[in-house]
A and B are shown apart, each in its own frame.
Chain A
Amino acid sequence: MKNNNLTLKIFALIVLNDIGDTIAQLLMKKGLVQTGISSVTFGNIIEFASRNILSGLLWLGILFYALNFFIWIIILYKIDLSIASPVGSTSYIFVPIVAMIFLHEHVSMLRWIGIIVIILGIHFVSQSKKPIEKAI
């Protein structure tokens, strides 16, 4: 059923999508760093592209993006883009917390404040009034 509400199921899908996105970003950053080109100019853009096209990590990242696309499309089918988009910022909450628990990274006070502000923001967005039914 299409009711444009942010249900727990859709929220879970958004979180899953964020996890996939984070993995994809990490893989691609790792792949890009491996190419060893630190500054891209018009002169070396071809070389930059041709080195990256052979990077397995980059392609793995792109595969994650493709899987993520399917999840995202289902989310978009069910709720407004302007709700799905900000709620999709959960990765900014989970990444520091996961890094703190599993990698024993220090999370600064400023980050904790940022995390709380984002949670508040997601809460506000989820309280936004839904249109009764969109004209399709």
Chain B
Amino acid sequence: MVKILILVVLAEICTVIGQILFKKTTNTLEQRSLRGVHTHIQFLKDILIQPSIWFGFFSMAIGLVIWLIALAQADLSIVFPIGSLQYILVLFLAHILLGEKIDRMKFIGTFLVVFGIILITIS
């Protein structure tokens, strides 16, 4: 059980760091409107040439492998409730590393989402 807990939390940390790197990458792009196939392809190209997106992939890949190892030996009803802590991790790390604001609504909402997921997944 402790082993599963450590695995899931480790997977969460890797995944969230990957997300932060993704968001950091999109934050570096200049503003543009996404209309039509061509602008979307150009957008994808501009994203994929950034090193930070690949560090993000790398971090997520490690997270995914750890997540798969946890999934293979534990029930979804154990892995998913612990996994919901990811949302709280995102809230605080996005604030610290990306400067995203935490206001009361976002704070309450995030904790409600986590609470709801725990209710659904433990049953």
A and B form one complex: yes
User: Chain B, interface size: which category?
Assistant: 35 or more
Contacts of B20 in A (CB 8 A): 81
Question: At the interface, is chain B mostly helix, strand, loop or mixed?
Answer: helix
Q: Which residue of B lies closest to A129 (CB)?
A: B103
**Contact partner of A73 among B22, B30, B101, CB < 8 A?**
B22
Q: State the Cβ distance, B42 to closest chain A Cβ, in Å.
A: 13
Chain B residues 80 to 123 lying within 8 A of chain A, measured CB to CB, are 86-87, 90-91, 94-95, 98-103, 105-106, 108-123
A121 to B117, CA, bound (A): 10
Evaluate contact between A73 and B109: CB separation under 8 angstroms.
no
Chain B residues whose CB sits within 8 angstroms of the CB of A129 once the complex forms: 101, 103, 105
On A, residues with C-beta under 8 Å from B are 1-2, 28-29, 32, 37-40, 45, 48, 52, 70, 72-74, 76-77, 80-83, 85-86, 89, 92, 96, 108, 110-111, 113-129, 131, 134, 136
- 20 more contacts with CB within 8 A, not counting A96-B120, A114-B118, A115-B116, are A28-B71, A29-B71, A48-B69, A48-B72, A77-B34, A81-B22, A81-B94, A82-B98, A85-B19, A85-B87, A86-B87, A86-B91, A89-B87, A111-B120, A114-B121, A114-B123, A120-B109, A121-B114, A122-B113, A128-B105
